[in-house]
Structure 1
Amino acid sequence: MALYKIARSICATIFYPRYRIKVEGKENIPEKGPVVICSNHISNFDPIVVGITAPRDIYFMAKEELFKNKFIGGLLKRIHAFPVKRGMKDRQALRKAMGVLEDNEVLGLFPEGTRSKTGELKKGLAGAGFFALRSEATVIPCAIVGSYKGKEPLRVIYGKPVPMAELRERKASSQEVTDVIMGDIQKLLDKKR
């Protein structure tokens, strides 16, 4: 059994009861083909929560600093994480992410780029729109609703695919596409608050 499956199983055993996770909309994630899942970002635990609630394996970009320790870096790579340099164009990370989609896998992104300390959705970075436009991937908005400290269950909601055909056809900018994706995430958040 691959390390990803083992790690996912262990994390699910811990996280589901601890945060009383409720999941909605898993059926919106296609069983096959390239997918980009774009989620809001409220905690360092978010990649784990998205990873255990989605029905498919997910490849996540993670900040380069996490890979400086050889042991942790090696472990992260074995559970489908790959490094990205923040605040600059990282061609190697872009190529790796596009390769994930070309291999018909799932790419997980947090378009805000960093955690929101208030829980409010911040402006998304253009990278999410870049991958959505440069691939044939289905783009799925995801909202993590609640708090890891709260008494209420943590909700993970996968929305309907973002309609990309018209945006691709008229060659919308990466930022414009990201703004559409963020709008869909905000609607999921608004619906459940």
Structure 2
Amino acid sequence: MTLYDFAKGLFRLQFHLMGWKIHDVENLPLEGPVILAINHVSLWDPIVAACSLPRHVSFMAKDELFAIPVMGWIFSKLGAFPVKRGQGDMNAIRQSLALLKEGQVLGLFPEGTRSKTGEVQKGLPGMVLLMEKSKASVVPIKVLGTRRLLRKGWGKIAVVVGQPLTAQMLKAPEGIQNRREWIADRIMQAVLELPEAK
């Protein structure tokens, strides 16, 4: 058993006890490259999202997390890898494309940072570059109830999985000046439009 599977089993037990719900997980393709576009309000988001899905998810995470003693090692063992925010990190891009070329699942938080208000923010266009280069579909995912999870998350944790979006479905109209930004906006709109609860 891998560390990923062991940790996933432990957290799934915890979340089940907290009333965790997963909606429309059948929307996630069971094979082939997939990019997850996930809203971000808490450090718990990647854990809750990964535990909700049947496939192994490799997350791109801010490089500051990998500088934390022991934690950085754990993140790496779980398949996460660092990205330097605020700049074009070619190493992170190459690693992302390599994962997708192998038909794996890449987890992204396109907002670039946690939302202080809980509202879905503008998405960064880097995910569009990865989608175009890899030909992977993008699956919008909304994570709910993770803010102050250990105090207020009981009975409120949920994950909603949206329909896959392809580059063909997200073609920008002619005359759009920043095509990737326009597509990123459409992806984040798809995250926003996922239901809050069912």
TM-score using structure 2 length: 0.88
Q: Give the distance between the partners of 1:169 and 1:86, measured in 2 at CA.
A: 26
Structure 1 residues 93-127: Cα deviation after superposition (integer angstroms, max 9, x where no partner):
11001111001000001111111111111111111
Show the counterpart of 2:183.
177
Shift of 1:153: 2.2
Aligned length, in residue pairs:
191
How far apart are residue 3 of structure 1 and its match?
1.1
Match of 2:161 in 1: 158
Identity among equivalent pairs (%): 39
The answer (yes or no) to whether the contact 1:132–1:139 under 8 Å persists in 2 is yes
* CA distance in structure 1 between the aligned counterparts of 2:9 and 2:113, rounded to whole angstroms: 26
Find the aligned partners of 2:171 and 2:77 in 1 and give their Cα distance: 33
Does the 8 Å contact 1:129/1:176 carry over to 2? no
Kindly indicate whether the alpha-carbon contact (under 8 Å) linking 1:59 and 1:81 is maintained by their aligned counterparts in 2.
Answer: yes
Runs of 4+ with >3 A deviation: 166-172
CA distance in 1, matches of 2:84, 2:193: 30
Match of 1:65 in 2: 64
Q: CA deviation at 1:177?
A: 1.7
* Pairs within 5 Å for 1:1-193: 1-18=1-18, 20-146=19-145, 147=147, 148=149, 149-150=152-153, 152-167=155-170, 173-189=179-195, 192=197
TM-score, normalized by length of structure 1?
Answer: 0.91
The CA distance in 2 between the partners of 1:185 and 1:157, in whole Å, is: 9
Deviation at 1:170, TM superposition (A): 7.6
> Which structure is higher in helix share?
1
Cα distance in 2 for partners of 1:105, 1:22 equals 24
| Distance (Å, rounded) in 2 between the aligned partners of 1:71 and 1:5 | 19
Distance in 2 (alpha carbons) for counterparts of 1:117 and 1:73 = 24
Letter in 2 for 1:175: E
Structure 2 segments unaligned to the other structure (5+ residues): none
- Cα distance in structure 2, aligned partners of 1:121 and 1:163: 21
2:162 partner amino acid:
G
